[in-house]
């Protein structure tokens, strides 16, 4: 690929996000299956304008998310199936989050570049959770992205010595579910804002863990429940500036006895980035409007040391996530 083509692809990449988002929001992926459906049928079923529907379908077809089998008929593909609401490996929540809130938040990057101030601030989380529909989209998206990471975590780290695990800020519990599935002697609970309890309890009940997983409402800025021998924290610190991260870590340390385990799951910025680091750099840009950021291993080690933790290992998991294994000292 020529340099000009690479630059053009980078400049115009936003069309993919919009096509996927609008196709998902309209219900096209839910309506498509292995039997060819005509554009007219889809438009009538979903209340869409047929000529525009055709154009959106063409766009998602070239992305491999459906196949055009004739001039006016389309079928589903395995990749497109992942954007259905009922798919076991659904990424629908991610499509909805990126096409709406993340899309709008990125429009503020220019202001942040000039002033250093976040365009949305951490009020973004309050806005999300004040709207039940937006809160569900956000937490579904986080659960979707957590599954492969959690499965890798359960394989990479030894949980056999732990009996009571707390997933702090764990949303709908995807990480805790996979860890408990791999460790039948353990139990635990998600500790997150009480207003997401219904969604979290639904996910935890559907996991069918025999009552070993629960939910407890609370705010990790106020306190973290005591009594656990292992605390998990996934993709929370990157949402917050350094001062807030120190508050969170201090509360976690206060909840743990000396020798208890703390597993921090985060992306890690290399000291020097290259093309292979697109995922972590992309995440860093997404964090910018809400005053969060990705960090280097040295930055995490410094924060953990200040909070009273000793780092024992740093392990790669999946999708650019790392497990920083630490213990309370």
Q: List pLDDT tens digits, range 172-226.
A: 999 999 999 999 999 999 999 999 999 999 999 999 999 999 999 999 999 999 9
Residue with tokens 């998991």: 317
Q: Cβ distance 164 to 228 under 8 Å? A: yes
Pairing of strands 213-217, 187-192: parallel
Last residue of a domain, one of 21, 52, 84: 84
138 & 41 share domain: no
Q: Cβ distance 261 to 229 under 8 Å? A: yes
pLDDT the model gives residue 138: 86
105 & 60 share domain: no
pLDDT the model gives residue 132: 83
pLDDT the model gives residue 124: 56
Model-level pTM?
0.88
Question: How distant is the alpha carbon of residue 238 from its chain centre?
Answer: 12
Residue 113 burial (CB count, 10 A): 10
61 & 152 share domain: no
- Grouping H, G, I as helix, E, B as strand and the rest as coil, residue 216 is strand
Beta bridge partners of 296: 269
- Domain assignment present for 90: no
* Residue partners of 70: CB distance under 8 A and separation at least 6: 36
Regions of the chain short of the pLDDT cut 70: 121-127
Alpha helix segments (H runs only) across 12-159: 14-26, 28-31, 39-46, 50-62, 78-81, 92-97, 103-106, 109-115, 123-130, 132-156
Last residue of a domain, one of 44, 61, 84: 84
Domain CATH number, residue 168: 3.40.50.150
238 & 297 share domain: yes
Q: What share of the chain is helix, strand, coil (3-state, %, to 5)?
A: 50, 20, 30
Domain CATH number, residue 25: 1.10.10.10
265 & 318 share domain: yes
pLDDT the model gives residue 127: 67
Residue with tokens 């990126």: 98
pLDDT the model gives residue 121: 61
- Domain assignment present for 91: no
Instruction: Indicate the helix (H) or strand (E) that contains 73.
Output: strand 73-76
pLDDT the model gives residue 63: 98
Burial label, 129 (beta-carbon count in 10 A; 0-12, 13-18, 19+): middle
Domain that holds residue 280: 98-328
Q: Cβ distance 165 to 232 under 8 Å? A: yes
pLDDT the model gives residue 16: 97
79 & 126 share domain: no
Q: Cβ distance 91 to 65 under 8 Å? A: no
Pairing of strands 37-38, 321-328: unpaired
31 & 136 share domain: no
Last residue of a domain, one of 60, 84, 108: 84
- Domain assignment present for 169: yes
179 & 286 share domain: yes
Which residues are catalytic, by number?
238
- Domain assignment present for 89: no
- Domain assignment present for 293: yes
199 & 283 share domain: yes
161 & 236 share domain: yes
The total number of structural domains in the chain stands at 2
Residue with tokens 């996910």: 203
Question: How distant is the alpha carbon of residue 68 from its chain centre?
Answer: 31
185 & 306 share domain: yes
Pairing of strands 213-217, 230-234: unpaired
């Amino acid at each position: 690929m020529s340099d000009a083509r690479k630059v053009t692809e980078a400049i115009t990449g936003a069309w993919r996000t919009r096509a996927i988002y609008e196709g998902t929001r309209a219900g096209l992926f839910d309506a498509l299956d292995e039997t060819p459906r005509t554009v007219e049928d889809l438009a009538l079923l979903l209340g869409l304008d047929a000529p525009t529907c055709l154009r959106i379908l063409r766009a998602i077809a070239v992305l491999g998310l459906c196949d055009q089998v004739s001039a006016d008929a389309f079928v589903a593909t395995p990749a497109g199936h992942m954007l259905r609401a009922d798919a076991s490996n659904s990424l629908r929540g991610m499509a909805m989050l990126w096409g709406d809130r993340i899309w709008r938040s990125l429009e503020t990057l220019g202001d942040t570049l000039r002033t250093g101030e976040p365009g949305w601030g951490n009020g973004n989380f309050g806005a999300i959770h004040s709207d039940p529909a937006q809160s569900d989209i956000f937490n579904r998206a986080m659960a979707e992205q957590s599954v492969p990471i959690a499965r890798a975590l359960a394989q990479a780290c030894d949980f056999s010595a732990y009996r009571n695990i707390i997933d702090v800020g764990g949303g709908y519990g995807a990480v805790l579910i996979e860890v408990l599935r791999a460790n039948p002697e353990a139990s635990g609970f998600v500790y997150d804002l009480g207003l997401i309890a219904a969604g979290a309890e639904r996910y935890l009940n559907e996991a069918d863990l025999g009552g070993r997983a629960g939910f407890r409402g609370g705010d990790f800025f106020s306190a973290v429940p005591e009594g656990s021998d292992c605390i998990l924290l996934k993709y929370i610190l990157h949402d917050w500036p350094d001062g807030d991260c120190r508050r969170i870590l201090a509360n976690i340390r206060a909840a743990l006895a000396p020798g208890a385990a703390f597993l921090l799951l985060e992306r890690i910025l290399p000291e020097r980035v290259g093309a292979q680091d697109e995922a972590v750099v992309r995440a860093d840009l997404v964090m910018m409007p809400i005053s969060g950021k990705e960090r280097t291993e040295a930055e995490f080690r410094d924060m953990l040391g200040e909070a009273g933790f000793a780092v024992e290992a740093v392990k790669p998991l999946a999708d650019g996530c790392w497990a920083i294994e630490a213990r309370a000292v």
